[in-house]
Amino acid sequence: MTTVARAGRTPALLVLEDGRTFHGHAYGARGATVGEAVFNTGMTGYQETLTDPSYHRQVVVMTAPHVGNTGVNDEDPESARIWVAGYVVRDPARRPSNWRAVRTLDDDLADQGVVGISGVDTRALTRHLRERGAMRAGIFSGAALEEAAGGRGVDESALLERVRAAPEMSGADLCGEVATSESYVVPAVGERRFTVAAIDLGIKGMTPRRLAERGAEVHVLPATATLADIEAVAPDGVFFSNGPGDPATAEHAVELMRGVLDRRLPLFGICFGNQILGRALGFGTFKLKYGHRGINQPVQDRATGKVEITAHNHGFAVDAPLHEASDTPYGRVEVSHVCLNDDVVEGLRLLDRPGFSVQYHPEAAAGPHDAGYLFDRFTALMQGGSPQGASSLEGQRA
């Protein structure tokens, strides 16, 4: 339970599952919240971050020291609500200054019941998470913190027990909690050239818009959609979206992906969709120590050698061979993109069927536009072309 209280500097406490604590002041709603603590390195784009369904059940730490200066508008949200479980900032803006702002970030967090904390040394907190790894955390303020104090000093041990009792992200099946329950259509911009069936595993609003800009009528289907639902749309291509949770739990999505592969339909996956494709092909997935989150992550397209600055939001990755093509039940597959920070797989390309995926977010919301060409690759696949040219590994050997 949370209550809205904006005025004053209400004490707040952040408790990590390894026992480390950070004191600060309430930001947004007052109350208690628990989730997985992760950090985002983006200097801008906090509104898109907050409304990204992939952040469901996560306490997001912003490494940028000053947050909230552009306020909140009604054009930039990636979904109908804020999804983060909690929000941690160092220096919140005293007042927004942007011509599109209609309210403050503090008010938006409070109105949607999102418990946050400000005045925290987010640099120290981020270094701690990099060294120890992403972990469960709780934010406590207002009545939740007063109850823990009981008229005396705060009983941090009791709060720590609440944090450690929360479910971990490993093994969490969450995409069904954020996906649409009803199908809907995003019409093509201009002449309709293609029909796309988009499986919503936690889709961001900008993604179907990017497809629509290229002449695609996008039918967004629930995570529970079946092959019959896809075939009813008569799609030229199938898209699997981003989303939260552990891909090892997404059995339905994996089987659905295999059905698409069996039918040789052109396919494109982003983020969680990349992990689902990896599992459908027979690769494993694993949890990263602290994940990739932000809009400044360097990724190399191995077909061209070009390095893109990309937007990321993932805590799991595909375990696939980096330096050679793999034989799978659906033909040969290779790693098409790789993260230059840590060699994590950032993309898969099918060599014998029309399909590919990337681990990052090419829709640039928020984020750079370097990877927008991937939507063009997908439209080329739906036209029957081979937009990626030679195998990326062949290209490196040439």
From 300, 338, 299, select the one nearest 318 (Cα to Cα).
338
Burial class for 225, CB neighbours closer than 10 Å (0-12, 13-18, 19+): buried
Architecture per CATH, domain 175-397, reads as 3-Layer(aba) Sandwich (3.40)
Calpha distance 179→245 (Å, rounded): 12
Contacts of 227 (CB under 8 A, 6+ apart): 256, 259, 260, 263
- Which pLDDT value is given to residue 169? 97
The one catalytic residue among 292, 312, 314, 361: 361
The response to whether 375 counts as a known ligand-binding position is: no
- C-alpha dist (Å) from residue 244 to 176, 179, 271, 294, 313: 9, 10, 9, 16, 9
What is the rounded (10 degree) CA torsion for 258, 54, 334, 268?
Answer: 60
Q: Confirm whether 161 is a catalytic residue.
A: no
271 noted as active-site residue? yes
User: Does the annotation list 269 as a binding residue?
Assistant: no
* pLDDT for position 367: 87
Q: Is 140 annotated as a binding residue?
A: no
- 245 known ligand binder: yes
Q: Which tokens is 44 given?
A: 């801008």
| Catalytic residue (choose from 271, 308, 337, 346) | 271
Q: Is 69 within any annotated ligand binding site?
A: no
Q: Tell me the three-class secondary structure of the chain, residue by residue.
A: CEECCCCCCCEEEEEECCCCEEEEEEEEEEEEEEEEEEEECCCCCHHHHHCCHHHECEEEEECCCEECCCCECCCCCCCCCCCECEEECCEECCCCCCCCCCECHHHHHHHCCCEEEECCCHHHHHHHHHHHCCEEEEEEECHHHHHHHCCCCCCHHHHHHHHHHCCCCCCCCCHHHHCCCCCEEECCCCCCCEEEEEECCCCCCHHHHHHHCCCEEEEEECCCCCHHHHHHHCCCEEEECCCCCCHHHCHHHHHHHHHHHHCCCCEEEECHHHHHHHHHHCCEEEEEEEEEEEEEEEEEECCCCCEEEEEEEEEEEEECCCCCCEEECCEEEEEEEEECCCCCEEEEEECCCCEEEECCECCCCCCCCCCCHHHHHHHHHHCCCCCCCCCHHHHHHC
Q: Give the count of beta carbons closer than 10 Å to the beta carbon of residue 366.
A: 21
The pLDDT of residue 8: 53
Give pLDDT tens digits along the chain (398 positions): 344 444 458 999 999 999 999 999 999 999 999 999 999 999 999 999 999 999 999 999 999 999 999 999 999 999 999 999 999 999 999 999 999 999 999 999 999 999 999 999 999 999 999 999 999 999 999 999 988 777 677 889 999 999 999 999 999 999 999 999 999 999 999 999 999 999 999 999 999 999 999 999 999 999 999 999 999 999 999 999 999 999 999 999 999 999 999 999 999 999 999 999 999 999 999 999 999 999 999 999 999 999 999 999 999 999 999 999 999 999 999 999 999 999 999 999 999 999 999 999 999 988 889 999 999 999 999 998 654 544 444 433 33
Please, what sign has the CA dihedral across residues 194, 272, 210, 360?
negative
pLDDT of residue 385: 63
Residue located via tokens 């805590």:
315
Residues 6+ apart with CB under 8 A from 133: 289, 290
Query: Residue 272 annotated as binding?
Result: yes
Amino acid at 384: G
Sequence-separated (6 or more) residues with CB below 8 Å from residue 331: 350, 351, 352, 353
| 396 assigned ligand-binding residue | no
Spot the catalytic one: 17, 36, 334, 363: 363
Residue 181 CA to chain centroid, in angstroms? Answer: 19
Q: Is 313 annotated as a binding residue?
A: yes
Look up the CATH architecture of domain 2-165: 3-Layer(bba) Sandwich (3.50)
Tokens standing for 309?
A: 């600055």
Q: How much is the CA Rg of the chain, to the nearest whole Å?
A: 21
Look at residues 115, 139, 135 and name the one whose alpha carbon lies nearest to residue 126: 135
d(C-alpha 160, C-alpha 162), whole Å: 5
- Please give the single-letter amino acid code of residue 20: R
Give the per-residue pLDDT at 179.
97
Task: Spell out the domain ranges in the chain.
Answer: 2-165, 175-397
CA distance 37 to 32: 14
Per the annotation, the verdict on 361 as an active-site residue is: yes
